[in-house]
Amino acid sequence: MVETHELSKRLVILKMNFQGKNLQSIWFEPESGGVCIIDQTKLPHQLKINCLQSLDEVCYAIASMQVRGAPLIGVTAAYGIYLSLRSNVNSLNEALDTLSKTRPTAVNLKWALKRVQEFLAGEGVDNIVGKALEVAQLMEKEDIAVCEAIGENGLPVLRGIWESKKNSQDVVNVLTHCNAGALAAVDWGTALSVIYKAKLAGIPLHVWVDETRPRNQGAALTCWELAERGVANTLIVDNAGGHLMQTGKVDLCVVGSDRTSLSGDVCNKIGTYLKALAANHNNIPFYVALPVSTIDFSILSGQEGFPIEERDNREVSHMRGQTEQGKMETVRIALSQTAVSNYGFDITPAEFVTGLITEKGIFEASPESLSKLL
């Protein structure tokens, strides 16, 4: 495991700034006893902090996507166990069960709950609340260190591309999908960690950001956090990536993952697969950046067992945004009788993945390679 105390010293430069405070996506506030989060449903128009005080509030925050992104869902769930035990020391099993049902696809949720359960095994009622807080805070710190290490391990990929094109006066053009950034983890993120490390290393960069319908995590979250950190970016509609790749405007794709199988099949936000197909057709490297906790070693092939979340159809039939007058409004974009479906994730087969960038190094998307992590 990466030395968290050493790595975390270097993080301040990256954190979001809010009313003079450096922010992470989640933190524990001892004064109020609350677990504070950035309410991501309000971004980019409002930076609103919610301090959660109960298991119900944590479950709502995860299910409604006030917090989202595989690593952040896991850490939030760990804090949910603490808040539950704080109000009832005998509620561990019920809390584990309730939290495990909040979102189905990101395996980090189950990984985190298992880790907390193991950490608390054998603890009596006198200690269990303090121990639950301890493990949640530990997981928060580890997530920062792991994500920073992902960025460091991915940096040589971007450096290699920059070295090969630096005489062309161009910049390195990266395409990303959804939000696999600091907002999707505690800090740094996964795919965006690689981009932030490249930026800090002085590599000239530009990021094409897929809007990521239906929830628009690209438009609302990725563009926001890239701009906060001074990374040049351009928002594009989800279908533009193929054209940009065909016309030489993309050097590589980097995305995150919600669950990756032992064979290297990658489950990520709906639309990722189409980007991988286009990248493959145009000989563009397609990297996936993820913590090892996102690999589901119990599933060999993605087609065989990844649960694909289906969400409320209103996310597709309606759009939410800010009016010119600064008011948030939701409008219907299809007739009320139109049939709608809303699959949240898709599976990119391992054959289209150039490499998996993890905190332990870059791995080939194959069972032989990934089994080294077992």
Question: In this structure, what token pair is assigned to residue 63?
Answer: 């299910």
- Decide if 195 contacts 231 (C-beta within 8 A): yes
71 lies in the site for ligand MRU, by CB under 6 A: yes
Q: Among 28, 82, 75, which residue's Cα sits nearest to residue 54?
A: 82
* Per annotation, catalytic residue among 187, 210, 251, 258: 258
Q: Which of 269, 292, 353, 355 binds ligand MRU (CB under 6 A)?
A: 269
Nearer to ligand MRU, 84 or 293 (CB): 293
Q: Which of 190, 216, 280, 348 binds ligand MRU (CB under 6 A)?
A: 190
Distance (Å, rounded) from C-alpha 245 to C-alpha 372? 33
Angle, nearest 10°, between helix axes 70-87 and 128-165?
170
- Decide if 36 contacts 76 (C-beta within 8 A): no
Distance (Å, rounded) from C-alpha 125 to C-alpha 279? 54
Q: Which of 23, 135, 185, 198 binds ligand MRU (CB under 6 A)?
A: 185
70 lies in the site for ligand MRU, by CB under 6 A: yes
Q: Among 126, 120, 64, which residue's Cα sits nearest to residue 93?
A: 120
How many angstroms separate the Cα of 253 from the Cα of each of 39, 54, 169, 191, 265? Answer: 28, 39, 20, 9, 16
Nearer to ligand MRU, 63 or 240 (CB): 63
278 lies in the site for ligand MRU, by CB under 6 A: no
Distance (Å, rounded) from C-alpha 122 to C-alpha 251? 52
344 lies in the site for ligand MRU, by CB under 6 A: yes
Question: In this structure, what token pair is assigned to residue 211?
Answer: 């809007």
218 lies in the site for ligand MRU, by CB under 6 A: no
Nearer to ligand MRU, 163 or 237 (CB): 237
Q: Which of residues 83-122 bind ligand MRU (CB under 6 A)?
A: 106
Nearer to ligand MRU, 211 or 258 (CB): 258
Q: Which of 34, 69, 104, 349 binds ligand MRU (CB under 6 A)?
A: 69
74 lies in the site for ligand MRU, by CB under 6 A: no
Cβ count near 230 (within 10 Å): 8
222 lies in the site for ligand MRU, by CB under 6 A: no
Q: How far is the CB of 159 from ligand MRU (least distance, A)?
A: 22
Active-site residue, 258 included: yes
Reduce the DSSP state of residue 124 to 3 states and report it. Answer: coil
Q: Annotated catalytic sites, by residue?
A: 258
Which residues are near ligand MRU by CB under 6 A? 68-71, 106, 178, 180, 184-185, 189-190, 217, 256-258, 268-269, 344
